Amino acid sequence: MILVTGGAGFIGSNFVLDWLARHDEPVLNLDALTYAASPANLAALQGDARHVFVHGDIRDRALLDPLLATHRPRAVLHLAAESHVDRSIAGPAAFIGSNVLGTGTLLEAVTAYWRGLPPAARAAFRFLQVSTDEVYGDLPPDAPPATETQPYAPNSPYSASKAAADHLVRAWHHTYGLPVLTTHSSNNLGPYQFAEKLVPRVLACAWAGERLPLYGDGLQQRDWLDVDDHCAALRLVLQAGVPGRRYNVGSGTSRSNLALVQALCAELDRLRPDPAGPHARLIHHVADRPGHDRRYALDTTRIRQELGWMPQRSFEASVARTVRWYLDHPERLASAVSAGPP
């Protein structure tokens, strides 16, 4: 069995669904079911004995210890996190509590459990920290993509809390010998994303014929990765990654936020034409958020050369798949119409 924290969120639910579609090995799914998580993401697993769902908080040591002792996972994939930059600006305490204190509590519980394993199981055990490209900070336009040796320079409360969690994970490996792995992913495209994020928010507003809010000039550069390719990278890192090592996971497909929104609109025009005109007419630039990073970019040489990972879905194919999924699930779009700016 593997333990996945945050398995009812966007990337977590995609990973759990993908894992159980490929493996018979059960998943213990621990999620606090905060605003960004939804049991509906896992509806396809209802009645599946391979999926053990536990509603709980990674900060609850009294829950973690018996959970680990009872289910005895061979690995922990830590995806539970507060991840919305806007919310971190408005209320950073929640991000410090979940991402920093929660990771610290989880590491303490996992280390105590790991130390009690038989030697062979202890050697094979892995703790995979799923992090973000945002910990590297804002890259200048002419700077090369960030490698795994790039110094951390987080600029938002969210990215700072993730950087702190990464440092805790590294310290646990160095001090206690816990066999850890860390991945840094770029922005993901795919189903089940929380309504406030850029992609579902834009699709929801376009679907409703409302203005599409876009921060500033929209020229912030991001790498866009299909969530299925991210899940494949996590499986591979878990299987063959070197303990103590970090791996960047990105597609190498850099697009401005404006170009992404235009691509989403073009796909909507193709699949669901609006008699009033192209959906891009609805793009509306709003005041930029404080400290908005202009560019993220990842050098993925390590995971490609050492582990043989390569993204399989192009940006265009991922946009098409994502738009189609949301159009096939209009209830998700309806829930996003009233959300705040992305």
Residue 134 bears catalytic tag: yes
Contact 223, 132 (CB under 8 A): no
CB 63 within 8 A of CB 71: no
Q: Does residue 222 contact residue 250 with C-beta atoms inside 8 Å?
A: no
Per-residue model confidence (pLDDT) at position 336? 58
d(CA 300, CA 184) in angstroms, rounded, equals 10
Read off φ and ψ for residue 226, nearest 5 degrees. -70, 140
Token pair belonging to 167: 């440092």
Q: Are 128 and 238 in contact (CB under 8 A)?
A: yes
Q: Where does residue 287 rank: exposed (0-12), middle (13-18), buried (19+ CB within 10 A)? A: exposed
CA distances from 198 to 86, 212, 283 (A): 11, 10, 12
CA distances from residue 158 to 152, 243, 259 in whole angstroms, order as listed: 13, 25, 24
Res 83: pLDDT:
81
Q: Which of 57, 82, 134, 148 is catalytic?
A: 134
Q: What are the sequence ranges of the domains in the chain?
A: 2-192+226-253+297-313
Position 335 scores a pLDDT of: 65
Annotated catalytic residue within 31, 133, 267, 293: 133
Would strands 221-226 and 51-55 be described as parallel, antiparallel, or unpaired? unpaired
Q: Tokens in use for 337?
A: 């119409």
The two tokens of residue 56 are: 């709980």
Please give the angle made by the CA atoms of 34, 37 and 41, to the nearest 5 degrees: 155
CATH number given to 2-192+226-253+297-313 = 3.40.50.720
Q: Give me the pLDDT at residue 51, please.
A: 98
Per-residue confidence (pLDDT) for residue 84, from 0 to 100:
81
Catalytic residue among 113, 136, 158, 247: 158
Q: For this structure, is 306 an active site residue?
A: no
| Active-site annotation holds for 158 | yes
- pLDDT score, position 85: 87
Residues in contact with 175: Cβ distance below 8 Å, sequence separation at least 6, in sequence order: none
Cβ(225)–Cβ(251) under 8 Å?
yes
CA-CA distance, 217 to 150, in Å (whole number)? 28
Q: Per-residue pLDDT for the chain (342 aa), expressed as one digit of tens each?
A: 999 999 999 999 999 999 999 999 999 999 999 988 899 999 999 999 999 999 999 999 999 999 999 999 999 999 999 888 888 888 989 999 999 999 999 999 999 999 999 999 999 999 999 999 999 999 999 999 999 999 999 999 999 999 999 999 999 999 999 999 999 999 999 999 988 899 999 999 999 999 999 999 999 999 999 999 999 999 999 999 999 999 999 999 999 999 999 999 999 999 999 999 999 999 999 998 898 999 999 999 999 999 999 999 999 999 999 999 999 998 888 765 554 444
Task: Provide the b/e sequence for 201-221 (b: ≥16 CB within 10 Å).
Answer: bbbbbbbeeeebbbbeebebb
> Cα torsion for 162, 91, 137, 221, to the nearest 10°?
120
N- to C-terminal Cα separation, the chain: 36
User: What ranges in the chain are assigned the alpha helix state H?
Assistant: 10-22, 61-71, 85-90, 92-95, 102-115, 119-124, 157-176, 198-208, 227-240, 257-271, 301-307, 315-328, 330-337
To 10 degrees, what angle do helices 102-115 and 157-176 make?
A: 20
Report the distance separating Cα 326 and Cα 18, nearest Å. 18
